[in-house]
Amino acid sequence: MIAAMKHCSSCGEHNEVRVPEGEDRERHVCSACGTIHYRNPKMVVGCIVQDGGRVLLCRRAIEPRRGFWTIPAGFMELGESATAGAARETLEEALARVQIVAPYAHFDIPHIGQAYLIYRAQLLAGEFGPGPESLEVQLLEPDAIPWQQLAFTAVRYALELFVEDLQNQRFRHHTGMVVRKDGRFALEDHVGLPIGNAE
Ligand SMILES: [Zn+2]
């Protein structure tokens, strides 16, 4: 869930939630100085790193979802591009240098205010290992992906589609929206467009 923003970041007084004049939705507005605090989704950037038919996965050393597996990914920083951020996260979490190959998935997750931008990438130099945020890092055959122990739903959808694309020897670029209804997740509005041949 998206947390409330109780205090004004300009003056420290309390915010109220109301629709500012001329706008169409509620915002956090400072009750003292009137500053409107616009809040927008955060970008999570990451890589599905390939080496032959195998994919690089990290087991998380930090919360949330410590002990669970994921692809290298994290919040995009100010001042960097999405591809640079995805490569940076891969170096930090998996000590792996990669070449970005193609965009792979863009999944919006409106209920937590995030958007995932996932790239296919090629492992360079064949070197990897656990960074400070990982317990272990492994190159896994698709059959060995721990589906029941993946940390994040968006990553699970990306890996499921990746394995499907691998089997079909045709990579696509996927877009969609991860929603949560009645405690269950679903990938809605999924579109997968071909984007080159599997290598
Ligand atoms: Zn204020």
Q: What average pLDDT values come out for the chain (199 residues) when binned by 10 residues?
A: 87 96 95 95 98 95 97 98 98 98 97 97 96 97 97 98 94 97 94 77
Residue 137: C-alpha distances to residues 1, 32, 75, 103 (Å): 29, 50, 20, 23
Tens digits of residue pLDDT in 21-39? 999 999 999 999 999 999 9
CB distance 155 to 70 below 8 Å: yes
CB distance 148 to 127 below 8 Å: no
Residue 130: Cβ-neighbour burial (10 angstroms; 0-12, 13-18, 19+):
middle
Of all helices (H) and strands (E), which one includes residue 70? strand 69-70
Distance in Å, CA 19 to ligand 1 centroid: 16
Distance in Å, CA 12 to ligand 1 centroid: 6
β-sheet bridge partners, residue 126: none
Strands 134-140 and 54-60: antiparallel
Distance in Å, CA 20 to ligand 1 centroid: 15
> In 29-58, which positions are buried (b, 16+ CB within 10 angstroms) versus exposed (e)?
bbeeeebeeeeeeebbbbbbbbbeebbbbb
CA gyration radius, the chain: 19
Distance in Å, CA 44 to ligand 1 centroid: 29
Distance in Å, CA 190 to ligand 1 centroid: 41
Distance in Å, CA 4 to ligand 1 centroid: 15
Helix and strand numbers, DSSP H then E, in the chain: 2, 12
Q: Which of 147, 161, 148 is nearest to 118 (CA)?
A: 161
In whole angstroms, give the CA distance from residue 25 to residue 141.
47
Query: What pLDDT shows up at residue 134?
Result: 97
β-sheet bridge partners, residue 178: 187
CATH, domain range 1-39? 2.20.70.10
Distance in Å, CA 35 to ligand 1 centroid: 6
Query: What pLDDT shows up at residue 198?
Result: 52
Distance in Å, CA 15 to ligand 1 centroid: 7
Query: What pLDDT shows up at residue 4?
Result: 82
Q: Which of 51, 46, 52 is nearest to 93 (CA)?
A: 46
Query: What pLDDT shows up at residue 199?
Result: 53
Distance in Å, CA 37 to ligand 1 centroid: 9
Distance in Å, CA 154 to ligand 1 centroid: 36
pTM of the predicted structure, to 2 decimals: 0.92
Residue 151: Cβ within 10 Å count: 20
Distance in Å, CA 26 to ligand 1 centroid: 17
CATH superfamily of domain region 42-197? Nucleoside Triphosphate Pyrophosphohydrolase (3.90.79.10)
Q: Where are the domains of the chain?
A: 1-39, 42-197
Distance in Å, CA 14 to ligand 1 centroid: 7
